[in-house]
A and B are shown apart, each in its own frame.
Chain A
Amino acid sequence: MSTVISRNVHQSTLDDANWVRWSLIAVALGFVILFLCVPLVLVIIQAFSKGFGAYFSALSEPDMQAAMRLTLLTALITVPLNTVFGVAAAWAITRFEFRGKNLLITLIDLPFSVSPVISGLIFVLMFGAQGWFGSWFVEHDIKIIFAVPGIVLATLFITFPFVARQLIPLTQEMCSEEEEAALSLGASGWKTFFLITLPNIKWALLYGVLLCNARAMGEFGAVSVVSGHIRGMTNTLPLHVEVSYNEYDSVSAFAGASILAGLAIVTLILKTILEWKQTNRATV
């Protein structure tokens, strides 16, 4: 009896009072509703404010279509490149000992810590007409800044860390013994990677690719600096939203925004599924 009583006393001293619990939950929930749900609903309401017809004609407008195509193209180039880079970096960092390893780990995080506008400016400074390599590119008639290559480069830089960051903790934790076992059984390095390593990291890899893709499609700051905002040419979807909004074309702006919001929701759902898959990795 005495132990039961003492445990109850103990527990009630550890637990917060009910009002603390409920007010914390209310604050958190209030924030989510006020800053996430309400804006999302408003975006959709605004997009459809002039009816379905206006919404779909805004979406099928050539400039909007061009913006969507450019966004897709950018993602299509940057995501695979950063996937390859991320896998290579994670592999190198966790499997080899080399000088400058810690520096590499820190540098991978650089795009997270630098303001996207600065990232954009770096590329203008390097490849712009007045930049370091600018004159060489002008001579050879290669356009980088205010053109698609600049947008791709800036996006590549911004989305650089996503895949690597997802993989490094996993490859660190994953014992290399399985890989050694495969090698001792006569498998080549490539076979070991594709048959043993990749299946073990696939969910984390997909998760990283997903985040990378979401950022590649949604990036605004860095792309804005290098794009030059040429309608139908160098506007990605986020830029198109801004331009339309500044021109008081609210249906077009919010239609674009609704596409991006939709992308975010899909990403969120896939992210949850992948997270679930990852935690259930051990039990297959």
Chain B
Amino acid sequence: MSILLSNISKNFGQFAALHDIDLEIPEGELVALLGPSGCGKTTLLRIIAGLEQADKGKIFLDGDDKTDLHVSQRGIGFVFQHYALFRHMTVFDNVAFGMRVKDKKLRPSETEIAKKTHALLELVQFDWLHNRFPDQLSGGQRQRIGLARALAVEPSVLLLDEPFGALDASVRKDLRQWLRNLHHELNITSIFVTHDQEEAMEVASQVVVLNKGRIKQQGSPAEIYDYPANEFVSKFIGQTNEFTLEHYTVDWFKHIGLPISAESKIAHVRPHDIEIVKTANNDTPITLKDWQHLGALIWIELTKNLPNGKPKLVYVEMPNEQFKRLQLNRGDKVDLKVRHAHWFN
């Protein structure tokens, strides 16, 4: 089901959590709402769910205005960061809950409920846990049960609030993969909130970057990474080197391949867009400071002595093989070449 938000605003007292959010999510997408903490992403998700009321604006699900509809009538599935499983019920009863509370006319028979509950538990690979209580499960297990419970009501939209936020790094990695596969299988329009850019890039088909209650950019992970629309997105997604234009550095920028014009003020360069060139010229201001092995990649720290005497750190990333070929040592003087840069005013 497609989601359309128009002009959503929300204030908490004096604090404006969301300003005029317009967002369109086509059917079947798996969307990440990404941003630093306090940017309004969870509030936006809760407004879509109906757990929070927007001060202004409208919410359309599949073209129908659902702005004033109660959360229980919206047909959404919500997955909570801290699972929110019903602690006095078994796993089975948790998953069956949504079907059992339906109106008598719409409620399936108890045998149908049992059949469907077991099928959902199979889907999340935990049918063998059906008579456990939530506090007997690990975090990863609980979150999968939480998802099965949300799916039991056949929601048209699945909303996940930092679904992996409370989990260990290794479990998180597994669950991300699993969620993406599950989405391929079920194809429910899904939105998940995260502050982890890596998670957003890995799982989502569309990423919406938020900051201070405003949408900064929306696009596929590749678009967001390769064509950041503004300084915030460029810095928030991935690593970036920031070069500020100052008159005494213009020559150096030209030298390394950044064509500076007077209007451009800040250049952002990804660490993998910088090439290191060995040089015999000892006057170059760049010194190799240190490096770290990140497996397939090498993370290199360089210092550039600015004419005003302060050193500036420049980060470069290159494949392990290439680094070996260059045969660099700490303290080597080198030249840089920039392959690609983004300009922001």
Contact = CB atoms under 8 A, between A and B. Distances in A.
A188 B87 contact: no
B84 A180 contact: yes
B88 A284 contact: yes
A183 B72 contact: yes
A32 interface: no
What DSSP secondary structure best describes chain A's contact surface?
A: helix
A187 B51 contact: no
A188 B87 CA distance: 19
Contact of B86 (A181, A183, A191, A283): A181
A280 to B, nearest CB: 12
A175 B135 contact: no
A199 interface: yes
Nearest to A179: B84
Interface size class of A (residues with CB under 8 A): 20 to 34
B98 interface: yes
B101 interface: yes
B228 interface: no
Contacts of B51: 180, 183-184
Contact of A177 (B71, B80, B88): B80
A185 B80 contact: no
Contacts of A282: 87, 135
A237 B153 CA distance: 56
Interface residues of B, number: 27
B149 A185 contact: yes
A282 B85 CA distance: 13
A88 interface: no
Nearest to B81: A177
A177 B51 CA distance: 10
Given A185-B101, A187-B72, A284-B133, A196 B86 contact: yes
Contact of B101 (A175, A186, A199): A186
Contacts of B101: 182, 185-188, 191, 195
A282 B133 CA distance: 10
Contact of B78 (A180, A187, A196, A199): A180
Contacts of B149: 181, 185
A178 B86 CA distance: 6
Contacts of B49: 184
A184 B88 contact: no
Contacts of B71: 180, 183-184
Contact of B82 (A175, A183, A185, A195): A175
Interface string B68-108: 00111100111010101111100000000110011000000
Nearest to B51: A180
Contacts of A182: 86, 97, 101
A200 interface: yes
Contacts of A175: 82, 84
A284 B135 contact: yes
Nearest to A188: B72
Given A181-B78, A282-B135, A186 B87 contact: no
29 contacts: A175-B82, A175-B84, A177-B80, A177-B82, A178-B84, A178-B87, A180-B51, A180-B78, A181-B80, A182-B101, A183-B51, A184-B51, A184-B77, A184-B78, A185-B72, A185-B97, A185-B98, A185-B149, A185-B150, A185-B152, A186-B72, A186-B102, A186-B153, A187-B101, A191-B101, A196-B86, A200-B87, A282-B135, A284-B88
| A-B CB proximity, top 7 nearest | A185-B98, A177-B84, A184-B78, A187-B101, A181-B84, A199-B88, A183-B71
Interface of A: 175, 177-178, 180-188, 191, 195-196, 199-200, 282-284
Given A181-B80, A185-B72, 18 more contacts: A178-B87, A180-B51, A180-B71, A181-B85, A182-B101, A183-B70, A183-B72, A184-B76, A185-B97, A185-B98, A186-B101, A187-B97, A187-B98, A187-B101, A191-B101, A195-B101, A282-B87, A284-B87
